[in-house]
Amino acid sequence: KNEVEQSPQNLTAQEGEFITINCSYSVGISALHWLQQHPGGGIVSLFMLSSGKKKHGRLIATINIQEKHSSLHITASHPRDSAVYICAVRGGGADGLTFGKGTHLIIQP
Amino acid sequence: GAVVSQHPSRVICKSGTSVKIECRSLDFQATTMFWYRQFPKQSLMLMATSNEGSKATYEQGVEKDKFLINHASLTLSTLTVTSAHPEDSSFYICSARDGGGALSYNEQFFGPGTRLTVL
């Protein structure tokens, strides 16, 4: 079973700061997802990666398959970025996702 | 982007009753749907994988007779919590994967979730 570790668990930063959230996993995967969960519980899929790097607006996600590690970066952070960010992986033989515990991000104005 | 809906968004029921939650893919055909559960301050956990036209595959520790899953069409999967008890109170989320159309095969699209409270 894949073990997914995220760090930090909690992060409070000032508006405008550059944010990095890390994710590591223990077993090889076919895809890694970064998800955003707001207080109401709804989940938004931010990225799905299998290699390299993706960028969408102020969000950047990278993955290093050899090191079994991924990072999510937020540039010019804003209070509306406050949410829980979750890393989830899909194994080669498994269908469903295995989730990290999430990083609770608060951006203060 | 692809949209997945869930109904209801919130339900409160008495202990012993059954509750049905619907998950629909609105603009794509989902051959595979997934049901997840999230207890307060815990991570999401996969409960079962639902494939259209076949029996669901349940994760270890999830009772298939208690959590009935039906995936009768390419756009609808239902989860029925039978004889619900307070310990079943949780946030239930579905996701759907495209059956090989224009969307990426590995991409999963999440529903907004259903918060179940059993009194």
Task: Indicate yes or no: CB of A99 within 8 angstroms of CB of B44.
Answer: yes
Residues from chain A that touch B46, judged by Cβ atoms under 8 A, are: 96-98
d(CA A36, CA A58): 14
**DSSP code of B59?**
P
- State how far residue A107 is from chain B, nearest Cα, in angstroms: 20
Give the nearest chain A residue to B108 (CA atoms).
A45
Please say whether the beta carbons of A71 and A54 come within 8 A.
no
Task: Tell me how far apart the alpha carbons of residues A61 and A78 are, in angstroms, rounded to a whole number.
Answer: 18
Lowest-confidence pick of A9-13, A25-29, B103-107? B103-107
pLDDT value, residue B38: 92
Is the pLDDT at B111 greater than 60? The verdict is: yes
Query: Which residues in A lie closer than 8 A to residue B110 (C-beta atoms)?
Result: 35, 42-45
CB contact under 8 A, A45 and B110: yes
Rounded to an integer, the average pLDDT of B71-86 is 93
Q: Per-residue pLDDT tens for A76-102? A: 999 999 999 999 998 765 578 899 999
Neighbours of A109 (CB within 10 A): 7
- Choose among A41, A95, A96: nearest Cβ to B91: A41
Which pLDDT band, with edges at 50, 70 and 90, does B53 fall under? confident
> Where is A104: in which H helix or E strand?
strand A103-108
For residue A72, the SS3 value is: strand
Torsion of CA B40, B77, B51, B100, to 10 degrees: -100
**Distance (Å) from the C-alpha of residue B39 to the closest C-alpha of chain A?**
11
Cα nearest neighbour of B38 on chain A: A41
CB B93 within 8 A of CB B36: yes
Select from B87, B52, B51 the least CA-distant residue to B66.
Answer: B87
Residue among B93, B54, B32 at smallest CA distance from A88: B93
Interchain proximity A41–B45, CB inside 8 Å? no
Mention every residue, 6+ apart, whose C-beta is less than 8 A from residue B41: none
Which pLDDT value is given to residue B108?
Answer: 82
Q: How far is A90 from chain B (nearest CA, A)?
A: 8
